[in-house]
Amino acid sequence: MSKQRLLHRQSFSGSPKVEGYLSKRGRLNLRCAWKRYWFVLEGRQFMYYKSKATYECLGVCKGMIDFSQIQSIRTIKSAFSFAFDVITRRKVIHLVSLYSLV
């Protein structure tokens, strides 16, 4: 697995952009495996793609986390990674990164 860290860039709109790989747990939570996606946070949009190459080729977005639906973000203690849950009005999205921004 690549040891690529989060990338910080300036977007065309002038707002900061953060991108990098995160693993996302499947919809059925404990019964589904973690899948690795390329996440892009730009302004109030948090989108994810199958890979960095898909994003750079203007490929199809696999999904988006709507900031207007986020109620809270909960960090999870882990010895080997940075884990957190994004809690929305309809669901909890489990995410893991090998790197923390802290």
Q: Would you say 37 and 26 are in contact if contact means Cβ atoms under 8 Å apart?
A: no
Q: Which helix (H) or strand (E) holds 94?
A: strand 92-97
pLDDT in tens, 22-59: 999 887 656 678 899 999 998 888 999 999 999 999 98
Residue 64 in any domain: the answer is yes
Residue 102 in any domain: the answer is no
Residue 31 in any domain: the answer is yes
pLDDT in tens, 68-95: 889 999 998 877 688 999 999 888 999 9
pLDDT at site 1: 39
- What is the spatial distance between Cα 86 and Cα 97, in angstroms, rounded to a whole number? 13
pTM of the model: 0.77
- What is the spatial distance between Cα 11 and Cα 17, in angstroms, rounded to a whole number? 6
Residue 42 in any domain: the answer is yes
Residue 86 lies in domain: 7-97
Residue 60 in any domain: the answer is yes
Residue 44 in any domain: the answer is yes
Residue 85 in any domain: the answer is yes
Residue 27 in any domain: the answer is yes
Domain CATH for 93: 2.30.29.30
Number of domains in the chain: 1
- What is the spatial distance between Cα 77 and Cα 57, in angstroms, rounded to a whole number? 35
41-78 in b/e form (b: 16+ CB < 10 A) is bbeeebbbbeebebbeeeeeebeebeeeeeeeeeeeee
Indicate if the pLDDT at residue 5 is higher than 60: no
Which amino acid is it at 11? S
- What is the spatial distance between Cα 90 and Cα 102, in angstroms, rounded to a whole number? 29
pLDDT at site 11: 55
